[in-house]
Structure formats: C-alpha cells, structure tokens
A and B are shown apart, each in its own frame.
Chain A
Amino acid sequence: MRNTIIALAAVASLAACASKPEPTPTPTPGPTAPPVQTPQGPRPGSLEDFRVSVGDRVFFGYDRFDLSAEARGVLERQAAWLRQYPNVRILVAGNCDERGTREYNLALGARRAAAARDYLVSLGVEAGRVETVSYGKERPLDARVNEEAWSVNRNAHTNIVSGAVS
C-alpha cells in the first residue's frame, strides 16, 4: 500500500516536472542531473542556469552537517559559477527534515548553511557575497512523510539574491 502511494507520488512529481516551468525547484534527491545542453537551454548567468546547470542544493545525512563528496562537487560548481558572475549575491538556507524538534533543527539548519557557506568561501567566493539563514524544519521541499522525502529536506539551498542575468 505504502509502495503504491510512493509510486503514485513519484508519477505525480514527474507529471509536475513535465508541465514546467515551476518557480520553485523540483525535489531531486542526491546529486543534481547532468547539465542539459540544448539550443533552448537556460541563458548563461541566469537563475535557471544556476539551478539547472550548476545545482542549487546540497544534501545531508540525518543530524549531520558534514559535506559529502557529492555535496562538495555541487558546491565546487557553484563556486566556479559565482566566480564567473561576480555581481551575484547569494543566501544559503539550511533546512532539516521533520524528525527533530523545532529549536534544535533551527540550530542544525544554521550549521548546514554555514558548512556550505564556508566551503564556498574557501573556494574563493567573497564572504561578503554570501548570507546564511536557517529554516529548521519549517520549509520542507518534499511534503511526503518517508525517508526519501526527509533525505531531500535535509539540505543547504543556495538562493540567488541579486546580480543574475535576467
């Protein structure tokens, strides 16, 4: 029964992807999809370019804030992109799954955002361009109630605040 629900949810999610464009990023657990290079691809330096070609989220283990090899790969692509577009300013938001209490998760989200920010800065992104925020467990990306959704909801999300090509 539960498998059926998950399968249906997956179909619904795929359907939602097909009927894009979505203003908010679609939940894609794990490493981001390889860059799609088509003549109709996102305009270089745009929000869409960053989200689709670079990847705007890195994911964490349960109650963890250390960066996996995958997460570092995504952040390295982010840093390269940010060096290429030096006017872009970003807000890194730390997020948690719902399997923790509210205040602890606010603190954990702050750790995740700081871990991503610190790595970006270590790769040459000026610290003044990066702000952080924690949403704790208040802003789940995936509303479902299972480990797959929780793994998606444990993330640091790099939001472009200003300076992108429109």
Chain B
Amino acid sequence: MRLIKTFLASLTVMLVAFAFTATPSAAQQPQQSDRVHVDIEQGNLNPMPIAVVDFLGGSGAAQQIGRDVAGVIRANLDRSGLFRPIGPDAFIERITAMEVPPRFADWKIIDSQALVVGQVSPLPDGRIQIEFRLWDVFAEQSITGFQYATTPDNWRRIAHRISDQIYEQITGERGYFDTRIVFVSESGPRTRRIKRLMIMDQDGANPFFLTGSDSMVLTPRFSPSTQMITYMSFETGAPRVFLYNLGTNRREVLGDFPGMTFAPRFNPDGSGVVFTVDLNGNSEIFTMDLRSRARQRLTNQSAIDTSPSYSPDGSQIVFNSDRGGSPQLYVMAANGSGQRRISFGEGRYSTPVWSPRGDLIAFTRQGGGRFAIGVMRPDGSGERILTESYLDEAPTWSPNGRVIMFFREGRGEGPQLWSVDLTGRNLRRIPTQTDASDPAWSPLLP
C-alpha cells in the first residue's frame, strides 16, 4: 500500500517526445511494415535479439540505478520469450551520451535488431529522472523515447514501464510488466497447511503478506482498479468472501449470508462482485453491487454452480456446473438468462476465466489422472491444451491476454506458480519465496 501511495504521490510521467525524434507519430503507428516487429502469434520460435545498455548515471547512486533498471528490462524482455537480450559483454560501442545517435554498424554486427539506451539523473528536489530511447538498428531510426521523474526507490516500476513501452512498440500489443500478482503463500505440512495472502510484482520482486497465519485464505482476485482484492477466508469461522482495500489495508466480509460464500470475482467495472453462495449444500451464483449492497441470484439448479467469471464487456458470465452429471463450463447472460453448456471435450472442466481480450476462456481440464490448462472460444470451439501435469490449476490472464499464469503441484509436492504463453510455449516458473497457489494477475497499474 505504502508503495502504491508513494508512487501515486510522487510519480509524474512526462510523455516527452525527444527533440531529435524523427517520427513523432511512430507511437501511434506501432505496426509500420518497414519497422522492426515481433509477431506474437508465432510465439518464441525466434526471439528477437535486442541490446539493452546499462543506463548512464552521473553519481554513484544514479549509476547503480541505471544498471539495475537495465537489468530489470533485460529480465522482463527475456521472460516474455519474444526477445533475446544480448549479453553486454558482446557490445562493441560504448554508449557515453544519450544525445548522440548510436553507431548503428556496431550494433548490426552483433545482430541486435533493436537498441535501448537510457540515463538516470538526480533532480534538485531529491527525485530522479529516468529517460530512455528505443532505436531500430537496421532502419537506423528512433522508435520512441520517454522520460519519467520519480523517487529513487521507485526505479523498479519505471523499469517495468519502459519494458512495457518496448514490448508495445515492437509487438504492437500492450505490455504486462507494470503489474502485480496476488496469490496464496503456503507453508506447513499438507494436513495443516498455512495459507496467507501475498502480493508481489509480476517478476516476483517486492513480495509482502496481506494477511496473517491464523486464518486460511483462498482464491484472491484483483479489482479492475488494482486497488481492491476479493478473496475467500475462514477468518470468521465459516468460509466467507472478503474485500481487501489495498489503499487502507482494511478488509471486510462481503454481505451477510447464512451459509458459505466463495469463488468471488469483480465485474469488469469494479462496481460489483459475482460469487457463489452455499444454500444448504446447493451452490448458486449471486452478484452483489458494492454501493447499494443489492444482491441478485443468477442460477437456480440443484446442481453445483460456481466459479463465475465475467466477459470483459460485462454482458456474459462463464461458470462451472455439474448439472449435466460432471463438472463442465456454461455461459449465461449477466442477468442469468440463456444458460448453455460450452465444454464438450473429454474430461471434467472447471475454473473458467474469460480473457481480458474477450476472445477466449481459459480453464482447468481434468482427465486420465492429469490436470491441464487450456483455452477455448466462448462458444466452446477451438479448444487447445497449453500445459498438463499431475496438477495444473487456476489459470489467470496477463492484462494483454497473451500469457497465462497458473499453479502446478507435483505429486506430493507443494504448489508453485508458472506461466505459459497462449501459444503453449515459453513455460516458466515464477519465483516465490514460499510454496504458492491461486495466482491472480492485476491489470496494468494506474
């Protein structure tokens, strides 16, 4: 929280086009055909070589920040699977000033398609200015450049924002690096597991606990503003849906229901939550408006109805039901009408999550003693499995809908967070200090 407040209070982002920018309109036309470009649909068959030079810094502190910023950018781009940052040892030209265009020949020789240079300078008020420029080496022109004024301890977020700029300029898609992950940190023996809410940056940095070890928590999810989290907790004894305000650190039980409430998610504008209520052994889907606290029941079946997730336009909800005899995916209008089954493959389907792009639904599929993460179109067509293991569960989308994070549990082992591209490639472990499950990816931070 303090981090966010500090950031909001101190960060001023200046979208300053540099004086020597040859094509100031380039930012609005990120997919010019003559420019360096990575096709995301093709995945990481040939990651694009890119050189990220340590950012220049005058004093000792600024110099260290410059190195750290470049390191975070390289790690982000590398983890995306779309880029191959070139080791700085291979660099020929030594960049000494941002104002001077690079010697493109020196970067062509090492096959660097793009070049990132930057600079960190102290400001009179104690803040620092971080600026960067992205060059297209073979076109020999500047692609974009930004500068940011911020507090020195906020350098990591600027590094993520610069990474997002690079990703966006070269792929034509929004980035996802300036984001956070909320998840469940797990410890202790399997029969007496301790589960606490934890939040961290998308790359695993800056982790901290949101809840204590005295009550079990499950299934956290971000609000669209990234300032609220809804989750389930046993804090009050019976399992209840909670709201956690990251600005105030306050948490509250959502609604007053006689039975268990669980499986919460925000609606796309953050004005309400959709969740499940247990009515004497019968799970039904409800919504609650956060302002009026008015509730609406959407399902009415003796079967299990749970795990609701809104389409990004808010018009539909995908959910999990066993009304047909086994757990399958169903879609309904946001008012509960028009309920229809969409999953017809072999196996048991659960944990549906609508993509932020609206074009796909991610799910967990169980069959043959294995658990898989897959995607299908909202009409149920085009099913594809991305990963499979003893237990893969709980997909969550990057805000650009290109990467899915989930948790994987080996047989008898603790869970860990993993991510995989929509292409099914680039499977990566997300570093966490403890066992970790139930990840939820935030939207891009404001």
The yes or no answer to A43 lying at the interface (CB within 8 A) is no
Q: Closest residue to A65 on the B side, CB-wise?
A: B281
- CB neighbours (8 Å) of A106 from chain B are 218, 232, 239, 260, 262-263, 276, 306
The yes or no answer to B446 lying at the interface (CB within 8 A) is no
Interface set, chain B 258-283, CB cutoff 8 A to A: 259-260, 262-263, 276, 278, 280-283
Q: Is there contact, CB below 8 Å, between A110 and B260?
A: yes
Q: Closest residue to A113 on the B side, CB-wise?
A: B281
Q: Is there contact, CB below 8 Å, between B394 and A102?
A: yes
- CB neighbours (8 Å) of B280 from chain A are 114, 118
- CB neighbours (8 Å) of A113 from chain B are 281
Q: Is there contact, CB below 8 Å, between A139 and B438?
A: no
- CB neighbours (8 Å) of B232 from chain A are 106
User: B193, B239, B281, B393: which contacts A101 (Cβ < 8 A)?
Assistant: B393
**Interface secondary structure of A, over-half rule:** mixed
The yes or no answer to B391 lying at the interface (CB within 8 A) is yes
The yes or no answer to B191 lying at the interface (CB within 8 A) is yes
- CB neighbours (8 Å) of A107 from chain B are 262, 276, 278, 283, 304, 306
The yes or no answer to B76 lying at the interface (CB within 8 A) is no
Whole-angstrom CA separation of A102 from B366 in the bound complex: 13
- CB neighbours (8 Å) of B343 from chain A are none
Q: Closest residue to B302 on the A side, CB-wise?
A: A111
Contact A140 to B191, CB < 8 A, known contacts A103-B263, A110-B281: yes
Q: Is there contact, CB below 8 Å, between A103 and B278?
A: no
Interface set, chain B 331-363, CB cutoff 8 A to A: 348, 350-351
The yes or no answer to B88 lying at the interface (CB within 8 A) is no
The yes or no answer to A15 lying at the interface (CB within 8 A) is no
Interface set, chain B 211-241, CB cutoff 8 A to A: 216, 218-219, 232, 237-239
B269 vs chain A, min Cβ distance (A): 23
Q: Is there contact, CB below 8 Å, between A101 and B351?
A: yes
The yes or no answer to B411 lying at the interface (CB within 8 A) is yes
Whole-angstrom CA separation of A63 from B278 in the bound complex: 17
Interface size on B, residues (CB 8 A): 42
Contact A114 to B281, CB < 8 A, known contacts A98-B391, A101-B393, A102-B394: yes
The yes or no answer to B126 lying at the interface (CB within 8 A) is no
- CB neighbours (8 Å) of B193 from chain A are 138
Contact A102 to B438, CB < 8 A, known contacts A115-B281, A133-B260: yes
The yes or no answer to A79 lying at the interface (CB within 8 A) is no
Contact A103 to B281, CB < 8 A, known contacts A108-B304, A145-B411: no
- CB neighbours (8 Å) of A90 from chain B are none
- CB neighbours (8 Å) of B393 from chain A are 101-102
The yes or no answer to B291 lying at the interface (CB within 8 A) is no
B351 vs chain A, min Cβ distance (A): 5
Contact A145 to B350, CB < 8 A, known contacts A101-B393, A111-B304, A138-B216: no
Q: Is there contact, CB below 8 Å, between B189 and A101?
A: no
User: A103, A118, A138, A145: which contacts B306 (Cβ < 8 A)?
Assistant: A103
Contact A133 to B190, CB < 8 A, known contacts A99-B366, A103-B276, A111-B281: no
B45 vs chain A, min Cβ distance (A): 32
The yes or no answer to B118 lying at the interface (CB within 8 A) is no
Q: Closest residue to B237 on the A side, CB-wise?
A: A133
B40 vs chain A, min Cβ distance (A): 29
Interface set, chain B 267-313, CB cutoff 8 A to A: 276, 278, 280-283, 304, 306-307
Whole-angstrom CA separation of A134 from B191 in the bound complex: 15
Whole-angstrom CA separation of A111 from B281 in the bound complex: 4
Interface set, chain A 112-137, CB cutoff 8 A to B: 113-115, 117-118, 131-134, 136
Chain B 190-215 interface 0/1 with A at a Cβ cutoff of 8 Å (1 = within): 11010100000000000000000000
Q: Is there contact, CB below 8 Å, between B350 and A103?
A: yes
Interface set, chain A 122-166, CB cutoff 8 A to B: 131-134, 136, 138-145
A71 vs chain B, min Cβ distance (A): 15
Q: Which 9 pairs show the lowest CB-CB distances between chains A and B?
A: A114-B281, A107-B283, A143-B190, A101-B350, A103-B263, A107-B304, A145-B412, A110-B278, A111-B281
What 4 new A-B contacts, CB under 8 Å, besides A101-B366, A110-B260, A138-B218? A100-B366, A103-B262, A106-B276, A140-B190
19 contacts between A and B (CB under 8 A): A99-B369, A100-B366, A102-B393, A103-B351, A106-B260, A106-B276, A106-B306, A107-B262, A111-B283, A114-B281, A115-B281, A131-B238, A132-B281, A133-B237, A134-B260, A138-B193, A142-B191, A143-B191, A145-B412
Interface positions of A (Cβ within 8 A of B): 63, 65, 98-104, 106-108, 110-111, 113-115, 117-118, 131-134, 136, 138-145
